[in-house]
């Protein structure tokens, strides 16, 4: 989106504001489906924890995507947005058995990542088809915070426990209709991904009634200049070819599924915040905005770099700034960053604000959550109102005495 379009939206809806470009989301979705065009049965389940506004979900539903969910509440939001139960997969970790039962009762595809749950569920509901999430023990990213496939990860059933999985399936008579892996949030290397895929194939061949193989996500998008980006087209060529060969070997039609979050929505998002104060200290110039980690926590939580530009002075001379928030704790968005000269009142734009930004926001410091706007066909549509004091007071009880 152009700086002028973003500025107009900031003026129309106020700051702080999240803006999502519907056409960028669509372009990413189509890029992925095109890369796998040779696969007859492809399913892209949007991992809604990245950005869960129901209008965003509706947009995915209209494009033909499925939905990947991690809580019963996400399932309910998905149904509310128009998804059918069979378009939803439930991939929880560490939730109660009752929650899995509730999701199954709604008719969504269950994905189990624990042997004890598999045994319990299979014994109680042998007629409900279940997908198994394996842990292929592949370290796809460089950062242990976000690489979930390695040996001590809490996610998935270890492939070394394959004999136990098979025994449970045999003993309970349950039907396993899908095999799943999700190796983490940053696939640096297509070869690593293909290596993990081989482990999924090796496991899948032991199960006779599979309908789909789910390769999870972990597609990397660039946050700053020079960042590596997953070459989706190359992955499409290589994995499609291998998948089709496996399908032949398996002898039954299989669906290839993915569940990206970040890849589909990260770059479509812009976070707009206004500069309250510019503060010179002995060593730095702070630009303090009307937001903080209550609205965008990724820089503080993961050290992630969100590119920042000054919409109010795009051609200005660049200077070095430390961009901070208004929270009464250290909440540094960017350290020593080169940005076009900032004056108080300017509007700053944080890029890559589509994934894990609003969905991780909170009311810390009793601040309101921002409004959200979907930009479509040249127009901004309000898809979430800015909160008010009523939202902060809802559910609170002032004791009568």
Ligand X SMILES: *Cc1c(COP(=O)(O)O)cnc(C)c1O
Distance CA 235, CA 238 (A): 5
Tell which positions 362-401 bind ligand X, by CB under 6 A.
none
Alpha carbon of 311 to those of 6, 23, 133, 270, 391: distances in Å?
8, 21, 44, 12, 30
Binding flag, residue 70, ligand X (CB under 6 A): yes
Buried b (16+ CB within 10 A) or exposed e, 67-84: bbbbbbebbebbbebebe
The answer to whether 81 and 100 are in contact (CB under 8 A) is: no
Stretch of 42-50, 122-130, 156-164, 203-211 contacting ligand X, by CB under 6 A: 42-50
Alpha carbon of 47 to those of 58, 250, 321: distances in Å?
13, 28, 34
Binding flag, residue 43, ligand X (CB under 6 A): no
Binding residues with ligand X: total (CB under 6 A): 18
> Closest separation between CB of residue 89 and ligand X, Å?
9
> Closest separation between CB of residue 277 and ligand X, Å?
34
> Closest separation between CB of residue 186 and ligand X, Å?
7
Binding flag, residue 157, ligand X (CB under 6 A): no
- Nearest residue (CB) to ligand X, 172 versus 217: 217
- Whether 328 is a known active-site residue: answer yes
Taking CB under 6 A as the criterion, the residue among 24, 29, 42, 68 binding ligand X is 68
Binding flag, residue 216, ligand X (CB under 6 A): yes
Tell which positions 173-192 bind ligand X, by CB under 6 A.
182, 185
> Closest separation between CB of residue 312 and ligand X, Å?
31
| 4 CB burial (10 A radius; 0-12, 13-18, 19+) | exposed
The upper half-sphere exposure of residue 360, i.e. CA atoms within 13 Å in the direction of its Cβ, equals: 15
Stretch of 59-67, 231-239, 258-266, 310-318 contacting ligand X, by CB under 6 A: 258-266
Dihedral, CA of residue 326, residue 327, residue 333 and residue 335, to nearest 10: 80
Taking CB under 6 A as the criterion, the residue among 49, 120, 384, 386 binding ligand X is 49
Vertex 30 angle, CA 195 and 266, to 5°: 75
Considering Cα of 41, then 257, then 136, then 194, what sign does the dihedral take?
positive
Binding flag, residue 267, ligand X (CB under 6 A): no
Binding flag, residue 91, ligand X (CB under 6 A): yes
Hey, which residues are catalytic here? 328
Binding site for ligand X (CB under 6 A): 47, 49-50, 68, 70, 91, 182, 185, 216-219, 259-263, 355
């Amino acid at each position: 989106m152009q700086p002028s379009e973003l500025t107009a939206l900031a003026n129309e809806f106020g700051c702080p504001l999240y803006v999502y470009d519907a056409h960028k989301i669509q372009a990413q979705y189509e890029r992925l489906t095109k890369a796998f065009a040779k696969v007859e049965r492809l399913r892209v389940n949007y991992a809604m924890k990245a950005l869960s506004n129901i209008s965003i979900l509706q947009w995915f539903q209209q494009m033909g995507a499925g939905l990947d969910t991690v809580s019963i509440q996400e399932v309910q939001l998905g149904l509310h947005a128009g998804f059918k139960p069979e378009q939803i997969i439930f991939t929880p970790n560490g939730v109660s058995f009752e929650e899995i039962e509730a999701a199954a009762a709604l008719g969504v595809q269950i994905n189990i990542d624990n042997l004890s749950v598999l045994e319990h569920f299979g014994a109680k509901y042998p007629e409900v088809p279940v997908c198994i999430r394996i842990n292929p023990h592949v370290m796809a990213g460089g950062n242990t915070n976000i690489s979930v496939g390695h040996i001590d990860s809490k996610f998935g059933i270890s492939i070394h426990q394959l004999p136990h999985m098979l025994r449970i399936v045999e003993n309970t008579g349950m039907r396993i209709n899908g095999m799943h892996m999700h190796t983490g949030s940053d696939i640096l290397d297509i070869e690593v991904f293909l290596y993990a895929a081989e482990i999924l194939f090796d496991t899948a061949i032991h199960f006779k009634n599979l309908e789909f193989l789910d390769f999870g996500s972990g597609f990397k998008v660039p946050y700053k200049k020079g960042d590596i980006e997953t070459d989706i087209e190359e992955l499409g060529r290589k994995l499609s070819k291998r998948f089709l060969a496996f399908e032949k070997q398996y002898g039954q039609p299989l669906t290839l599924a993915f569940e990206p979050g970040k890849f589909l929505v990260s770059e479509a998002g812009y976070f707009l915040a206004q500069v309250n104060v510019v503060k010179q200290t002995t060593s730095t110039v702070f630009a303090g905005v009307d937001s903080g980690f209550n609205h965008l926590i990724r820089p503080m939580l993961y050290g992630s770099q969100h590119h920042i530009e000054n919409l109010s002075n795009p051609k200005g001379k660049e200077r070095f700034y430390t961009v901070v928030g208004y929270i009464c704790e250290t909440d540094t968005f960017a350290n020593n960053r080169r940005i076009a000269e900032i004056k108080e009142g300017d509007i700053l734009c944080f890029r890559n604000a589509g994934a894990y930004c609003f969905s991780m926001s909170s009311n810390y410091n009793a601040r309101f959550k921002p409004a959200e706007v979907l930009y479509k066909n040249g127009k901004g549509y309000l898809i979430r109102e800015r909160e008010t004091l009523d939202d902060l007071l809802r559910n609170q009880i002032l004791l009568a005495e």
